[in-house]
Amino acid sequence: EPEVTQTPSHQVTQMGQEVILRCVPISNHLYFYWYRQILGQKVEFLVSFYNNEISEKSEIFDDQFSVERPDGSNFTLKIRSTKLEDSAMYFCASRAGGINEQFFGPGTRLTVL
């Protein structure tokens, strides 16, 4: 069964460093999402992406964040200069056009020291 994959599973970085989190959505899906979950808190929406552009973003998704679909298969989330409060689990999700169900990846645990 096709699935969303994410790499790495765990990333440790120093405050101020750039990180790139990678996702490979399900191959025929058209809509892509990033969510995050700070430890002990609920999952929060960051951004949605369709047709090579951002379709919606939350107030969390400020200028430090960017997304890209560089090669038609990968979908990346970049954090330019990480802060301690960026430590969280980051989930990628994708869905096919016209169908609402989103499929989630296993997540990347980001730890900022």
Residues in contact with other proteins by the rule CB under 8 A = 31, 33, 35, 37, 42-45, 48, 55-56, 58, 89, 91, 95, 100-107, 109
Distance CA 44, CA 22 (A): 18
Nearer to other proteins, 31 or 75 (CB): 31
Min dist CB 45 to other proteins, Å, is: 4
Please count the other Cβ atoms lying within 10 Å of the Cβ belonging to residue 58: 15
Distances (CA, A) of 46 to 33, 54, 71, 86: 8, 11, 22, 12
Q: How far apart are CA 77 and CA 52, in angstroms?
A: 14
Min. distance of Cβ 16 from other proteins in angstroms?
Answer: 25
Shortest Cβ 51–other proteins spacing (Å):
12
